[in-house]
Amino acid sequence: MSSSSVRAWRGEGGLRAWLLEGLDLLLSEPQRRLAPEELGRYRVLVGAAALNLVMALQMMVFGLASEERAFHLVTGPLVLAGYGSVLVLARRARSLWLPSLLLCSILGVGVLAATLTLRVPQASTHAAIMLLPALAAYLLGARMGLVFTALFGLNTLLLQPLVQVGFDLSRPLFPDAMSRQLSIIAGVSLLGGWALNWLHVTAREASQSALHRALKTLRESEGKLLSLIESTDDLVMSLDREGHLLTANPALRTLLVQAVGRELQPGEPISDALPVELREHLRGPLTQALGGQRAKTETRFWLGERLLTVEIVINPIREEGGGVVGLTVFGRDVTERNEAEARLAELHRSLLDVSRRAGMAEIATGVLHNVGNTLNSVNVSTGVVTERLRALRVSGLTKTAELLREHTGAPDFPPTANPRVRQIPDYLEALEEQLTRAREAVLDEVRALGESVDHIKSVVSMQQQHARAAGVLERVEVPRLIDDALRLHAVSFEQLGIQLRREYGHPLSAVLVDRHKLLQILVNLLSNARHALVDSGRVDKQLLIRVEQAGARLRISVAENGVGIAPENLVRLFTQGFTTKKDGHGFGLHISALSAGELGGALHAASEGPGRGATFTLELPVNEARAA
């Protein structure tokens, strides 16, 4: 045999493997899948049966050539049939006990027959007999092993010596002291072998029982852990040090199928299934975890048409020596949570803005009330001034001048009088004319002041009316409400040279809405249009307000030829906090869009680009009413 063959036979895959494979051929397929301990018992059983079958066959062949040929012709087939039955029972029986009992019984009968028929005193103390108690205890257990051990001990110490003396009790059982000592030692050895094997089997059974309990507990814990991992919606997987996939729960397998179009198999590198941006993002945390530190990160990546936000935790798996042998990765899809938090933050900002506006509205209501009272006083004072100016008797100066002129022109007027006395009538007439013109000018100013005060009073009254109506649904004539909103900006439009054009369709139905919210939207749209026209620097500033009805919808359009809106800004125009103004806060259009939705309508914007103006369209339902 070559040296390589010798190494193969001595190696792990050599003689031992060949022997085990040979023994497994004598077992059924279910028996080969038994636990290692039970499979070992079956292998010892069929191995012992097969070995004794070969030895029995050999003895029968040799016996046929001896003087006891007839004996071997009878007993040989019976022994062979017995060992063959053991092999058949071992393969088909559900329990190990019956074929083991049959094997031990055949061996026991054979040992007894051999020792009793041979005329050799030392036959009962042969070393082969010492193996039988150990085999019986291993296959049948301690109690049945003790039965066979007692039988062999009785045969060694009593039965075989009686046969040797022909059952003549007058003769000594042992021919000499040496034979007696050997028999006693053999009996003690049989009992000691059984005891040692019993202790070994008992310890092994206790160890196996503890191991089984530990394995059962481990399987239960593993089952609970697997059930928890399998049922969670979180992403769970384990990797080796090289980043190859070991296990993955259904949630992660589904995600991987969506990412790569197929299910990733254990052993494949996980990097093949990750998007490029996610792979680069995880490079640092994976390195940190392989270094023995727990890593946590949050990343965003596109999966198809959906942008996912995933919170990832990577933990190292350590061996007994403390080295890292793998990683566990836990991921949680927090996209909806982040979106909910963003909506909550936006709602919080909106509530703060609404609260601020409500407080300002309450303050404004009080200010309007006080201003109204003050304007009443101003109006009364203006009337008093007007009446007193009209009551001035300036015309009396003319009459006084005529009287003086008649007196100075009389014959009896002293010629030595001061010559300037004769100029007094002319002075009084000139003074009357000047005072009359001054009075008329002051009356005109007071009249204009009264008109301005009346205009301020109408504006204050209108604001008070809308403030009182906030939150109340009522039938509103939209053109009239637009005129009210325009009056709030009338001075600004006139001073800035904005050409205003109104196009109100006919007929127009009244809408059932919250007057205050609708007025707030209109004022905001007109204010934005005014700023767009002013910022454009155009000479021909034009503002068109169009109202038209299409079925059950009423459209209010505010179009201007101002600065226009860039396409990239058009999609974000109604977003909370977005503004293109230097001093803007980004609340106006956002609140207006929300208010339009609360009224059951919608607010849209359109623009052909920068410098080409913009059109805002408010749509309202004619026959519906919604309150915030």
**Does the pLDDT of residue 628 top 50, yes or no?**
no
Identify the DSSP state of 244: B
Chain centroid offset of residue 231 CA: 14
3-state secondary structure of 131: helix
Classify each residue of 290-310 as buried b or exposed e, where b means 16 or more C-beta atoms within 10 Å of its C-beta: beeeebeeebebeeeeeebbb
- Residues 385-425: tens digit of each pLDDT: 777 777 776 666 667 777 766 666 555 555 545 566 666 77
- Token output for 160: 């075989």
Structure tokens at 309: 């936000």
Q: Give the Cα separation of 532 and 568 in Å (integer).
A: 18
Q: Comparing 610 with 454, which gets the higher pLDDT?
A: 610
567 backbone dihedrals φ, ψ, rounded to 5°:
-60, -40
pLDDT for the residue 557: 93
pLDDT of 40-61, one tens digit each? 888 888 888 888 888 888 878 8
> pLDDT tens for residues 433-467?
777 777 778 877 777 777 667 666 666 666 666 55
Q: What separation in angstroms does the CA of 74 have from each of 115, 316, 362?
A: 19, 72, 123
- The residue type of 491 is V
- Residue 560, pLDDT score: 92
Amino acid symbol at 76: G
In this prediction, residue 12 carries a pLDDT of 47
Task: Please give the pLDDT value at position 46.
Answer: 86
What pLDDT, on the 0 to 100 scale, is given for residue 556?
92
Long-range contacts of 20-26 (CB under 8 A, 24+ apart): 23/47, 26/50, 26/87, 26/90, 26/91
User: Measured between alpha carbons, how far is 94 from 340 in angstroms, rounded to an integer?
Assistant: 62
pLDDT(165) > 70? no
Q: Quick one: which H or E segment has residue 184? A: helix 177-231
Residues 6+ positions from 107 with CB-CB distance below 8 Å: 52, 132, 135
Tell me if the bond preceding 121 is cis, omega within 30° of 0. Answer: no
* Exposure letters 42-52 (e unless 16+ CB within 10 A, then b): bbbbbebbbeb
pLDDT of residue 316: 92
Give the pLDDT band (50/70/90) at residue 594: confident
Residue 548's φ and ψ, nearest 5 degrees, are -145, 155
pLDDT at residue 301 tops 60: yes
Give residues with Cβ within 8 angstroms of 552, minimum separation 6: 621, 622, 623, 624
Q: Looking up tokens 């059924």, which residue turns up?
A: 28
CB 510 within 8 A of CB 477: yes
% residues pLDDT > 90 (the chain): 5
Element spanning 448, H or E: helix 424-468
Tell me the pLDDT tens digit for each residue of 327-352.
999 988 888 888 888 888 877 777 77
DSSP output for 551-589: TTEEEEEEEE-SS---HHHHTTTTSTT---STT--S-HH
270 in Cβ contact with 239 (< 8 Å):
yes
Give Dmax over CA atoms of the chain in angstroms: 214
The residue to which tokens 């201007």 are assigned? 560
**Four-CA torsion 240, 243, 244, 245, nearest 10 degrees:** 80
Written as one letter, the residue type at 125 is T
Which pLDDT score, from 0 to 100, does residue 42 have? 85
The reported pTM is: 0.39
What pLDDT band is residue 547 in, cutting at 50, 70 and 90?
very high
Query: Positive or negative, the Cα torsion across 31, 35, 38, 39?
Result: positive
Show the tokens assigned to 103.
Answer: 């094997």
pLDDT band, very low/low/confident/very high, at 586 (cuts 50, 70, 90): low
Q: How far is CA 363 from CA 305, 359, 368, 489, in A?
A: 49, 6, 9, 21
Rounded CA-CA distance 178/125 in Å is: 12
In degrees and rounded to multiples of 5, residue 338 shows phi and psi of -65, -40
Answer yes or no: is pLDDT of 37 > 70.
yes
Computed over every residue of the chain, the mean pLDDT equals: 77
3-state secondary structure of 285: helix
Residue 508: partners with Cβ closer than 8 Å, 6 or more residues away = 477, 478, 479, 547, 549, 554
**C-alpha closest to that of 618 among 495, 487, 482, 489:** 482
- Assign 119 a pLDDT band (cuts: 50, 70, 90): low
Q: What is the CA radius of gyration of the chain?
A: 58
Nearest to 605 by CA among 562, 560, 573: 573
Task: Report the distance separating Cα 514 and Cα 595, nearest Å.
Answer: 10
Of 102, 91, 193, 108, residue with least CA distance to 139: 102
Which of 333-337, 382-386, 579-583, 623-627 has the least mean pLDDT?
Answer: 623-627
Q: How is residue 344 written in tokens?
A: 């909550």
Question: What proportions of the chain, in percent to the nearest 5, are helix, strand and coil?
Answer: 65, 15, 20
Q: If you search the block for the tokens 């059109």, which residue do you land on?
A: 615
Q: What percent of the chain has pLDDT over 70?
A: 79
Q: Residue 610 pLDDT more than 80? A: yes
Helix extents (H) in 243-334:
250-260, 276-290
